[in-house]
Amino acid sequence: MKSLPENVTAYKKTKVFTHETVPDALTSHHDTKAGTWGVIHVVSGEMDYTIDDERRERETVRLNPQTVGIVEPEIRHFVTPVDEVAFYEEFHR
């Protein structure tokens, strides 16, 4: 997983989702637009963040309140809740 570039700034964030309210779009393959980075913040519990793009080696990272997920622009990924989880995503450009 790459690091968030220093030259990007947060501009929007989602509401807090739980394992019961996470949109199907987030648990299926999707990506962000060109120039848009994401940071997945877990408030409580755990979830898996999988980078699954032909331009990268497949990678799954277990996220928790101490470990954020960095979403690269235009790179396909998805999340999988593990038991009870609460999280939100912050967008940067």
pLDDT at 36: 98
Question: Can you give the CATH number for the domain in which 49 is found?
Answer: 2.60.120.10
Q: Measured in whole angstroms, how far is the alpha carbon of residue 72 from the centre of its chain?
A: 9
* In-domain check, residue 71: yes
pLDDT at 19: 94
Q: Of 31, 27, 11, nearest to 19 (Cα)?
A: 27
pLDDT at 72: 97
* In-domain check, residue 80: yes
How do strand 37-51 and strand 77-92 relate by DSSP bridges?
antiparallel
Q: What domain range includes position 74? A: 10-92
Ramachandran angles phi, psi of 57, nearest 5°: -75, 135
> Quick check: 62 and 46 in contact, CB under 8 A?
yes
Instruction: Give the three-state DSSP class for 26.
Output: helix
* In-domain check, residue 24: yes
- Give me the number of domains the chain comprises: 1
* In-domain check, residue 29: yes
* In-domain check, residue 3: no
Using one digit for the tens of pLDDT, what is the confidence trace for 53-71?
999 999 999 999 999 999 9
- For residue 84, what pLDDT band results from cuts at 50, 70 and 90? very high
